[in-house]
Amino acid sequence: MNRTSKILRYVSRRLLQGIPIILAIIVLNFFLLNLAEGDAVDVLAGEAGSATPEYMDQLRAKFGLDKPLPVQLLVYLKNVVTLDLGYSFRHDMPVSKLIVDRFWPTLLLMVSTIILAVGFGILLGLLAAVSLNTWKDAIITVFALITYATPLFWVGLMMIVVFSLNFGWFPTSGMENIAAFHEGFDRVKDIAHHLVLPTITLSLFYLALYTRMMRASMLEQYGLDYVVTARAKGLTERRITFVHVLRNALLPVVTMAGVQVGALIGGSVIVESVFAWPGLGMLAFESLFARDLNLLLGIFLLSSALVVAVNLIVDVIYSFLDPRIEIG
């Protein structure tokens, strides 16, 4: 059997295995969320100031909240099978539309953050490892420690104070300049301009993680037998570092990055909140307090599917990074 068809078979098998996992996640989430006191109708009526009990019963019947829980779950599962994520009664909109609208900003922030964090993390970790116990190593290690230990919201607010208020280089918040309503390429530029501060803020935390991981991983590899062999063969240090050690040292970093894609969706809540970035994290956060369970389940479904997919991709990447890891 050749390698491509092996990979294809592996991927389809893993995808099939993903289905029961996602279903289990839905069921678990459904019951977990229903443990919370109060429902969407309570919140809506509370915000409205006052509402009669008849009106609230009417709303419950309309939302399907008057049915027993198992029935609600079955209805939801039936809908999900037909790829219908249901309706958010709070927003009076289909859940899928709400999620898709907020997915692109999240993806934008996520991808730019991962590229920045993983890219610089690898670079800094590498630099620290090759300059072990020099001032470079010390600076990088301290930098990583500080950024890792600093709370995200504080970093975000300081970014705003320094770069928006004092220097005036970047806007404080939002995804685009809404007084101007740019079109076309101007809009792309405008969004990129707004993306800078949130990306840097969110990256700093992960950057520290990858730097430390990469450094440790490199050092570990340096101590292994194959490096001794390579040196004995007379290879240059440069070649040993970049061709042999780097490649092997990347494995744990890639694993970590894969795991964190899932966390990034939810973990960006703070950054989204500080920079008013209209992403999924904020939407999930708000829907929890509004008890908008359909919407919340939809977001969880999407993130669990994403985690399953990313883990699969990471496993495939492994086999390229290290041909000894067999897929099958």
Partner 1 sequence: MKIINLLGTAVLVTLLSLFGVAHAQKSGGTMVFLVQPEPPTMAGYVSTSGPIGLLAPKIYEGLFDYDTAGKMIPVLAESYEMSADGKTVTFKLRKGVSWHDGKPFTSADVQFSIMNVLKEVHPRGPNSFKEVSSIDTPDSHTAVFNLDNPAPYMMRAFSAYESPMVPKHHLEGQDLKGAKLGNNPVGTGPYKFVEWKKGQYIRLDKNEDYWGSDGPYLDKIVGRFVPDASTRTAAMENGEVLYAAYNAIPNIDAVRLKERDDIGVTTDGYSMINPMALIEFNTKEGPFVDAAVRRAISTAIDRQFMIDTIFFGYGKPATSALSSNFSATGLHAEMPNYPANGDIAAANKILDDAGYAKDGNGVRMKGTFDLIPYGEDWRRGGEYLKQVLGDIGIQVDLRYEDVPTWLKRIYHNYDFEMNLNYFYQLSDPVLGVHRHYGTNMIRKGTHFVNSSRYSNPELDKLLRAGMTQPDATKRAAIYKDIQTILAEDMPVVNLFELEFLTVFNTKLKDAYGSAMGAYASFGNAWLDD
With CB under 8 A as the contact rule, the residue among 157, 254, 309, 314 that binds partner 1 is 157
253 near partner 1 (CB under 8 A): no
CA dihedral 135, 136, 137, 141 (to 10 degrees): 100
* One-character DSSP codes across 304-328: HHHHHHHHHHHHHHHHHH-TTSPP-
Nearer to partner 1, 276 or 313 (CB): 276
160 near partner 1 (CB under 8 A): yes
Nearer to partner 1, 62 or 231 (CB): 62
Q: Segment contacting partner 1 (CB under 8 A): 71-79, 132-140, 230-238, 284-292?
A: 284-292
Q: Segment contacting partner 1 (CB under 8 A): 84-92, 125-133, 216-224, 227-235?
A: 84-92
35 near partner 1 (CB under 8 A): no
Give the Cα separation of 291 and 287 in Å (integer): 6
195 near partner 1 (CB under 8 A): no
The strand pairing partners of 87, in sequence order, are 94
With CB under 8 A as the contact rule, the residue among 30, 103, 205, 275 that binds partner 1 is 275
The beta strands (E) that lie in 38-98 are given as: 87-88, 93-94
With CB under 8 A as the contact rule, the residue among 23, 33, 45, 314 that binds partner 1 is 45
Total residues binding partner 1 (CB under 8 A): 58
Rg (CA), the chain: 24
Angle at 196 between CA 193 and CA 199, to 5 degrees: 145
Which residues are CB-neighbours of 15 under 8 A, at least 6 positions away?
308, 312
Spatial contact of 198 and 111, defined as CB atoms under 8 Å apart: no
Query: Rounded to a whole number, what is the distance in angstroms from the first to the last CA of the chain?
Result: 11
Nearer to partner 1, 71 or 162 (CB): 162
Binding site for partner 1 (CB under 8 A): 36-39, 42-53, 55-56, 59, 62, 90-93, 98, 101-102, 105, 153, 157, 160-161, 164-165, 168, 171-176, 178-181, 272-276, 278-279, 282-283, 286, 289-291
